[in-house]
Chains A and B, each alone.
Chain A
């Protein structure tokens, strides 16, 4: 499978999830499980763990708000009916099931290509070279900024300007950290643009590395998954029109 195919498949599943009711969500769950088991293999439990870790806190928060505080579903409020905590719970369950599927398919897509370096991943994507350059430059600069944050954070704590824990001093002087990081990054980038990159010919050497030679946009597996996703989405829309639960 290629990253292009995984992106298209994930986009179809996510869009279908958003228009699904209960029966549609079950169909998409089956398809997603197949995708995770076949494509992600031994990392399947990691997908499940990450999806649960991201969805459960949100689900608990939603239960607190909808079931605990509001006590009725949005449909009940719209119809101006008293409603019940049970209908609120059912509403939360459907929203959370959608979010869980979205997170799971995103995580599965990310883990499917976890063996690739960011440069290899960007290289295989079908998109204009300018955007590939931007993606690679951004990933590189994130590292630069993270190093700048580490250094500035340690220096400002050592000099007593900010503290390690939540404090009023952080609120007043946290800005100094942001400014220090920004100026460090600007200085570093200006130096690279003026001297380092022209001498090393970095940007021109980057282009051939980002250009995929004679690779097809989608392989046979991509086409199979995309076709399955499209069929599932069509069935869901058809069932929705014909009033499936």
Chain B
């Protein structure tokens, strides 16, 4: 499963997850972009679904551990969310790899798939991260979504329900953007690099 090009792809996608935080900071955008590498890794390796899942989860975990050590010590609590995103990427999003690379670009089909997968991934991420946000962070993670939580709490909802509703509101938008960027990066990736990553390991001669 772990050929050298795949190890490189995992490391590259983990580094992309980590480094895009810097890009977001540089261009001062109010978004996260912390799972693009995870989704992209699954797209690069896709036809082998098991490898796509394992590799994209590894990419997610490496970047999560590095970000926890160097930048944000709270990120490790969202490992479950990374697992959910890797699962969604390998089993659902990557099925459209042909649409994402089709030339000329099928705009409507491409857009519809991106929005559908973004919403699906956002809902999954919201469900998995809700217990962590509610129990570990008391519903407030420091992002703007905390005000949504406050709004739902003020309306009389329980903490867990408020966090879930806040997640359902904010996560699909962020994840749609991430699926879009991952699909566009996949589209821009040279075909020979994808071929190298997808090549199966050659068995040793007997």
- A interface vs B, CB < 8 Å? 18, 54, 57-58, 61-62, 65-66, 69-70, 74, 77-78, 91-92, 95, 98-99, 102-103, 106-107, 110, 130, 133-135, 137-142, 144-146, 149, 153, 162, 165-166, 170-171, 174-175, 177-179, 181-183, 185-186, 189-190, 193, 203
Contacts and interface: CB of A to CB of B under 8 A. Distances in A.
A92 B138 contact: yes
Interface in B153-172: 153-154, 156-159
B23 A181 contact: yes
A137 B11 CA distance: 6
Nearest to B28: A166
Interface of B: 2, 4-5, 7-8, 10-12, 14-16, 18-20, 22-23, 26-29, 36, 58, 62-63, 66, 68-69, 73-74, 135-142, 146-147, 149-150, 153-154, 156-159, 181, 184-185, 188-190, 192-193, 196
A193 B4 contact: yes
Q: Which of B4, B138, B192 has the most CB of A within 10 A?
A: B138
Nearest to A17: B136
A170 B28 contact: yes
Nearest to A145: B19
B133 to A, nearest CB: 11
28 contacts: A61-B140, A65-B139, A65-B146, A69-B153, A70-B154, A74-B138, A99-B136, A134-B10, A134-B58, A137-B8, A138-B11, A138-B62, A138-B63, A145-B15, A145-B19, A162-B27, A166-B29, A170-B29, A178-B23, A178-B36, A179-B184, A179-B185, A182-B185, A182-B189, A185-B12, A186-B190, A189-B12, A193-B8
A138 B7 CA distance: 9
B138 A66 contact: yes
A179 B140 CA distance: 33
A65 B140 contact: yes
Contacts of B20: 178
Contacts of B140: 58, 61-62, 65-66
Given A65-B139, A74-B159, A181 B8 contact: no
Given A69-B154, A91-B138, A189 B8 contact: yes
A194 to B, nearest CB: 9
Contacts of B23: 149, 153, 174, 177-178, 181
A51 to B, nearest CB: 9
Contacts, number: 152
Nearest to A144: B15
A22 to B, nearest CB: 15
B188 A183 contact: yes
Main secondary structure of the interface of A (DSSP, over half): helix
Contacts of B192: 190
Given A69-B150, A74-B159, A174-B27, A149 B11 contact: no
A185 B188 CA distance: 12
Given A78-B159, A181-B23, A186-B190, 18 more contacts: A65-B150, A69-B147, A74-B159, A99-B136, A106-B73, A130-B7, A133-B7, A134-B10, A134-B58, A134-B62, A138-B63, A146-B19, A146-B22, A166-B27, A170-B29, A178-B20, A179-B188, A189-B8
Contacts of A137: 7-8, 11
B38 to A, nearest CB: 13
Contact of B73 (A103, A135, A146): A103
Contacts of A78: 158-159
A186 B37 CA distance: 13
B62 A193 contact: no
A138 B12 CA distance: 6
A54 to B, nearest CB: 6
A203 B4 contact: yes
Contacts of B5: 193
A182 B66 CA distance: 19
Given A149-B26, A175-B181, A181-B23, A99 B15 contact: no
